Amino acid sequence: MSLGILLIIFAISLAFVLLSIIKFKMHPFLSLLIGGLIMGILAGMQLTDVANGLASGFGSTMEGIGIIIVLGIALGELLHVSGCTGQIASLMLRLTGKKKTPLAVNLTGYIVSIPVFFDAAFVILINLIKSLSRKGKVPFVTLVTALSIGLITTHALVIPTPGPLAVAGTMSVNIGWFLLYSIIVSLPASLIGGVLYGKYLGSKDEYALDFANAFDDIDETEENKSDHKLPSGGLGIFLIFLPIIIILLGTLASIIFAKDTAPYIFFSFLGNKNIALLIGVIIAFLCLRPYLKNSFTEVITEAAGQAGIILAITGAGGAFGKIINNTGIGKLLVEGMAGFTGAIGILSIVSAFVISQVLRAAQGSTTVALITTSAIFAPLLASLPGVSPVLVGLAICAGGIGISLPNDSGYWVVNRFSKFTIKQTMQVWTVGGTISGVVALIGILILSLFTGVLPGLL
């Protein structure tokens, strides 16, 4: 079958997936599976091959990311129920000083959202933000922008949040390099979209003197409560970054030590994403045990419950991608684009960002946008020369940050807990997130100029 016909079939199956999710509110799990059926059948694959391909794609995806998603959510749950997140905020404020409160708040959001879901982290920290605004005479809108953009940036870009995990797994990239470059592009994005833009909003006349928005509901008793029964913020930061450091050590060791030597095998074992997160979760439980009201079994059960829907969508995305790959469209694309290799990388990065951004805006969920877009791009890029799956994966993640509209639960979390108007929510959350996403994309495009020089990009 010719490339042109396969591209038309691919466009039809992709249109079905997008329309069924956006227009008809079909669950992404079903949309992706049916999209795979449409792709395989119209491409002329045998029906048994289509069925087996869906199952194979689902299973191989679960093999790559199933364990790590559950463990990542478990780590976030431990930090959440132990009270670590609020303590991290207090520590960051002490380190930066009250004059740099927006920076402290942004860095707190940036760190806390690596393992903790956006909604939970925002709700936990919003009363602290209100108190800091009132006591430090910092415009409330500045601090909400700093917090929310810090939270959503790492939620969309940095492992072990489920969305980036799913993207890295689907794109079959080295998780250590993916993690390293995600931090490189996400930190400036968070600072520009959260701190600088937040300060700009706070300087506007309508916000400049607003230090008391919604402060009547602060529980002063809770605010002044002693922290002697809470873990330290330093411990929380250590527990967040421990598995990240282990993964990065494993990646660096694979470069330093010769293959099949004892140090290489040992560090490769520790640096395995599943082992690193398992170690992180066990150590977190041991360190936080005195501060937990729930048993470890209850924490894992809660994490598994939260992970279920993410695993289902991710697996269906892998099934869809497997069918796309089995049609041979990737090989034909390589042959068709042989004369345009110099521009393929940049075009792929920008296209991945745009499609992820459109999906994010259309159906609301960052995680669904990331999983769906990576399922579309992974089989197409697998054999394209000179295209970095790491950078395309990061572009997909960056596209999940901005253009959050009222169909996104995060939009209403910011709106209701901050007591903003619709206009204010759009200015803070939608515009701020879009700025962060675009800054991240610019960083990714800059990295793409050094694809043949920087390690891990190919």
Using pLDDT thresholds of 50, 70 and 90, give the confidence band for residue 282: very high
User: Within a domain: residue 381?
Assistant: yes
Residue 430, pLDDT score: 94
Using pLDDT thresholds of 50, 70 and 90, give the confidence band for residue 322: confident
pLDDT at 248 over 90: no
User: Within a domain: residue 131?
Assistant: yes
**Domains held by the chain: number:** 1
Q: Residues 369-397, buried b or exposed e (16+ Cβ, 10 A)?
A: bbbbbbbbbbbbbbebeebbbbbbbbbbb
Between the alpha carbon of residue 361 and those of residues 27, 197, 204, 358, the distances in Å are 16, 21, 27, 5
DSSP assignments along 310-346, one per residue: HHHHHHHHHHHHHHHHHTTHHHHHHHHTGGGHHHHHH
Using pLDDT thresholds of 50, 70 and 90, give the confidence band for residue 38: very high
Span 406-420, pLDDT tens digits:
768 788 888 888 888
Using pLDDT thresholds of 50, 70 and 90, give the confidence band for residue 335: low
d(CA 12, CA 179): 34
**Mean pLDDT, rounded, for 106-131:** 85
Span 162-197, pLDDT tens digits:
889 889 988 889 999 999 999 999 999 999 999 999
Claim: this prediction has a pTM higher than 0.75: yes
User: Within a domain: residue 264?
Assistant: yes
Domain encompassing residue 175 = 58-307+330-448
**Mean pLDDT, rounded, for 222-228:** 46
Helical spans, DSSP H, in 339-429: 341-363, 366-381, 389-399, 409-418, 422-425
**Mean pLDDT, rounded, for 362-377:** 82
Using pLDDT thresholds of 50, 70 and 90, give the confidence band for residue 94: confident
pLDDT at 337 over 60: no
Residue 401, pLDDT score: 95
Residue 184 corresponds to which tokens in the numbers above? 């490189």
User: Within a domain: residue 40?
Assistant: no
Using pLDDT thresholds of 50, 70 and 90, give the confidence band for residue 228: low
Residue 382, pLDDT score: 67
User: Within a domain: residue 211?
Assistant: yes
Residue 191, pLDDT score: 97
Other beta carbons within 10 angstroms of residue 348's beta carbon come to 22
Using pLDDT thresholds of 50, 70 and 90, give the confidence band for residue 215: very low
Residue 142, pLDDT score: 94
Residue 264 corresponds to which tokens in the numbers above? 């290489």
User: Within a domain: residue 116?
Assistant: yes
User: Within a domain: residue 175?
Assistant: yes
Whether the CB-CB separation of 458 and 452 falls below 8 Å is answered with yes
User: Within a domain: residue 14?
Assistant: no
Please, what is the average pLDDT of the chain?
A: 85
Residue 342, pLDDT score: 53
